[in-house]
């Protein structure tokens, strides 16, 4: 759920820290993102702001600062970097890299709507390449004891020129060494949320692995392993009806999913954390081995 649709036009042209706000780009549950210009380094940036008068959750301000601090400690080429964080009398803000491109969700939607029916499937080799970058970034974050907890296509960004993948939005990330602001609360996006996360249990990196597995399912078929439902009903099903969660096996949804790929997908989205890949590295190794056999160019490499 995003912030209320209250006009923030008055912020256009405002100075925040070293930046000037230019225009609103979008809204989420954790803030409003503006296109900004950092005057000190003369570069465009993204500025996320959280107006204090729109805060309805009493710990939202703490979570906003925790997002900035968590992302700031993660230095990885596939994680959106944070440049600055601050507060004024009226709002909290953080300045981050502006990613020129589109989200994976936008990219997937564009493929689904392709005018040629035969091109409405996401290119599997490209999809695996994207997810390998995601898994590399998550492996690093997990080593730093940070669990993202909201991996989904909308939070995976692709630079248009370089095709580099960047993970964004650490708004509900869990830093395992720090205080859990959301203990016992089921936060996240239900369709991509692991069962243990849906029930408000303590989670580790295997919850992120589950989410990546759901995205792989969605890319390969294309469909989700769960039928979209009202949020609370979906959460209850994930907790109380685990055996009836999946609509179909991926291979039943589309014939291009062979036995090996189906095994990888089903292992990643296993209901019990102990049955999944136990690390992002293990998941990535399985994907690389599969891709090396299925996608080869003239030099024997895959793309």
Q: Where are the domains of the chain?
A: 9-97, 101-294
pLDDT confidence of 239, banded at 50, 70, 90? low
Kindly tell me if the per-residue pLDDT of 224 is higher than 50.
yes
Q: pLDDT at position 144, please?
A: 93
pLDDT confidence of 237, banded at 50, 70, 90? low
Kindly tell me if the per-residue pLDDT of 5 is higher than 70.
no
The answer to whether domain 9-97 and domain 101-294 are alike in fold is no
Residue of higher predicted confidence among 183 and 192: 192
pLDDT confidence of 278, banded at 50, 70, 90? very high
The average confidence (pLDDT) of the chain is 85
CA 57 centroid distance within chain: 22
CB atoms within 10 A of CB 159: 14
As assigned by CATH, the class of the 101-294 domain is mainly alpha
pLDDT confidence of 122, banded at 50, 70, 90? very high
pLDDT confidence of 236, banded at 50, 70, 90? low
CB atoms within 10 A of CB 236: 14
9 carries an active-site annotation: no
C-alpha–C-alpha distance, residues 290 and 242, integer Å: 28
Q: Determine contact, residues 165/157, Cβ cutoff 8 Å.
A: yes
Q: pLDDT at position 303, please?
A: 44
Residue 253's closest CA among 286, 229, 219, 287?
219
Strands 156-159 and 101-103: antiparallel
The percentage of the chain sitting over the pLDDT mark of 90, rounded to a whole number, equals 54
pLDDT confidence of 176, banded at 50, 70, 90? low
Six-digit token string for 99? 């990613």
Kindly tell me if the per-residue pLDDT of 184 is higher than 60.
no
Q: pTM of this prediction?
A: 0.86
Strands (E), the chain: 15-16, 19-28, 31-38, 43-51, 82-87, 91-97, 101-103, 146-147, 156-159, 165-167, 174-175
Kindly tell me if the per-residue pLDDT of 244 is higher than 60.
no
Q: Which fold has domain 9-97?
A: Phosphorylase Kinase; domain 1 (3.30.200)
Q: pLDDT at position 1, please?
A: 47
Q: pLDDT at position 243, please?
A: 41
Q: pLDDT at position 289, please?
A: 95
Q: pLDDT at position 252, please?
A: 85
Which of 136, 150, 169, 208 is an active site residue? 150
Q: pLDDT at position 69, please?
A: 81
């Amino acid at each position: 759920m995003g912030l209320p649709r209250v006009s923030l036009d008055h912020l256009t042209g405002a100075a925040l820290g070293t930046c000037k706000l230019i225009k609103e780009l979008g809204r989420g549950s954790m803030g409003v993102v503006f296109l900004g210009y950092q005057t000190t380094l003369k570069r465009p940036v993204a500025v996320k702001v959280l107006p204090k008068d729109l805060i309805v959750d009493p710990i939202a301000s703490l979570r906003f600062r925790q997002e900035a601090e968590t992302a700031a400690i993660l230095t990885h080429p596939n994680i959106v970097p944070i440049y600055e964080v601050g507060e004024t009398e009226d709002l909290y803000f953080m300045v981050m890299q502006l990613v020129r491109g589109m989200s994976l969700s936008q990219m997937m939607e564009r493929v689904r709507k392709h005018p040629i029916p035969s091109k409405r499937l996401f290119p599997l080799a490209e999809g695996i390449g994207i997810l390998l970058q995601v898994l590399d970034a998550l492996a690093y974050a997990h080593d730093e004891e940070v669990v993202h907890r909201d991996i989904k296509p909308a939070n995976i960004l692709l630079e248009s020129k370089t095709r580099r993948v960047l993970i964004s939005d650490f708004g509900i990330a869990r830093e395992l060494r720090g205080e859990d602001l959301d203990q016992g609360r089921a936060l996240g996006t239900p369709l991509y949320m692991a069962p243990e996360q849906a029930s408000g249990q303590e989670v580790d990196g295997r919850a992120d692995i589950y989410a990546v597995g759901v995205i792989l399912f969605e890319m390969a078929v294309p469909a989700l392993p769960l039928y979209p439902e009202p949020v609370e009903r979906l959460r209850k099903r994930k907790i109380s009806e685990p055996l009836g969660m999946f609509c179909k096996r991926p291979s039943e949804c589309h014939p291009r999913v062979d036995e090996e790929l189906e095994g990888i997908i089903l292992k990643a989205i296993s209901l019990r954390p102990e049955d999944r890949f136990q690390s992002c590295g293990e998941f990535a190794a399985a994907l690389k081995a599969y891709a090396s056999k299925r996608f080869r160019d003239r030099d024997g490499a895959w793309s």
